[in-house]
Amino acid sequence: MITLSNAQARRLFLDKHALGEAPTGAGKGADLLELITRLGFVQVDSVRTVERAHHMILFSRRQAYRPGNLDHLLEHDRSLFEHWTHDASIIPTDFYPHWNMRFDRNDTKLRKQWRAWRRDGFEDKVQGVLDRIEDKGACGSGDVGDDEARGSGGWWDWHPSKTALEFLWQTGQLAVSRREQFRKFFDLTNRVIPQTQLTRKPTEKQSIDWLCNAAIDRLGFATSGEIAAFWASISAAEARIWCNEAVTSGHLTPIQIEQTDGQMRQCFARPDVLMAADNAPIPQNRMRILSPFDPMLRDRKRAEKLFGFHYRIEIFTPAAKRQYGYYVFPMLEKDRLVGRIDVATDRNADRLHVTAVWPERGVLWGKARQDRLNAELARMSRFCVTSGVSFSDNWLRDPK
């Protein structure tokens, strides 16, 4: 059986996630679309301590990237669309036909779930919401259901027309046309998604095959469960069946991956995985501050096994119980996660402000490493359009 050492596995994994090479490139147009296609998708998140997650993910790979570059591809070129993978994500429009399977499955699943979710009656609003959008154009959730009672305003307390609007999006009848201040506006799908993609109708079998192939090619190596979780569109059972058939046909091979603790983990990979690992670029000797939602870290357990880095976001942890902070960013250097940083944009002071840095155990924080961090913070300050970087007193903390 093929075995990848931990060093080989890290090198391949970083290459697949576009973190092995220098972050050069235009960061817009065809270059940006190629990057997102290579990653498969970019997760969207509303939290903006430095910049929103999707923008930070792209900036960490393309230093020239700026947020408006993504908007152009989404809202003008329509070469990207917004929908769900494991969470809300930005996805290449070329992939759209394979979301039809998800839409069909959602239609059955959500009707049942949302009726039981105290949303009885939302189906009665579906046609009215569609008619309103057809006549008046794209709208947001605040533009429908004027005569319906609102509760606390949280996701758990949608009024029936908002539920209908979300249902129509989840089942493919509507698409996100644009965002304003992070608020989604929905339009009829045929006004947003190009006809070339709307007319392609793969079968379920074809989509399962595409989704599994696309996942393993972006992960480098994976268990069947990780393949299923990548797009979150198929079941673990479907992924297991696909993996077994792919091994039989010679398109996949079982391999062993060495973890940081020396234990071996059973995965699947392409038969040329050793060559791919050897040909992957040697990771750059620079510091990168990564979004907590970076594709490299999305599967926390996988990252911990491969890099020995335990990370949990603490947004929903009461302040007194937080180990680090509200929104702390991992720091990548070469092929190692060397620590985490509590940094935020302070618009009033026109500064990118560092509250604390926690090196990982065994990581020495000397001048060279500090210089690399300073260089990354300077780049990030320009990205956030602030005039410089500031540090709190006693910002360098002991490892935990």
119: pLDDT confidence band, cut at 50, 70 and 90? Answer: low
Q: Is the pTM of this model over 0.85?
A: yes
The answer as to whether 112 is a domain residue is: no
Q: Which one, of 199, 179, 175, lies nearest residue 188 by Cα?
A: 175
- What CATH number has the domain bearing residue 309? 3.40.630
Number of domains in the chain: 2
Out of 174, 193, 212, pick the residue that ends a domain: 193
- Structural domain includes residue 335: yes
pLDDT tens profile 207-263: 999 999 999 999 999 999 999 999 999 999 999 999 999 999 999 999 999 999 999
What residues contact residue 310 under an 8 Å CB cut-off, 6+ apart?
304
Contacts of 76 (CB under 8 A, 6+ apart): none
The pLDDT tens digits for 373-382 are 999 999 999 9
Average pLDDT value for residue range 164-187: 95
Is the four-CA dihedral 145, 150, 154, 157 of positive or negative sign? negative
Q: In 3D, which of 182, 172, 212, 206 has the Cα closest to residue 81?
A: 172
201 inside domain: no
Query: 123: domain CATH number?
Result: 1.10.10
Could you say which of 193, 214, 247 is where a domain stops? 193
Q: Is residue 132 part of a domain?
A: yes
Q: Quick check: is 353 in a domain?
A: yes
Domain span at residue 362?
A: 287-391
Whether residue 324 is predicted with pLDDT greater than 70 in this model: the reply is yes
Helix ranges (H only) for the chain are: 6-16, 29-39, 53-59, 67-72, 100-116, 126-136, 160-170, 189-192, 195-198, 204-219, 224-231, 236-249, 273-279, 300-307, 367-383
Say if 282 falls within a structural domain.
no
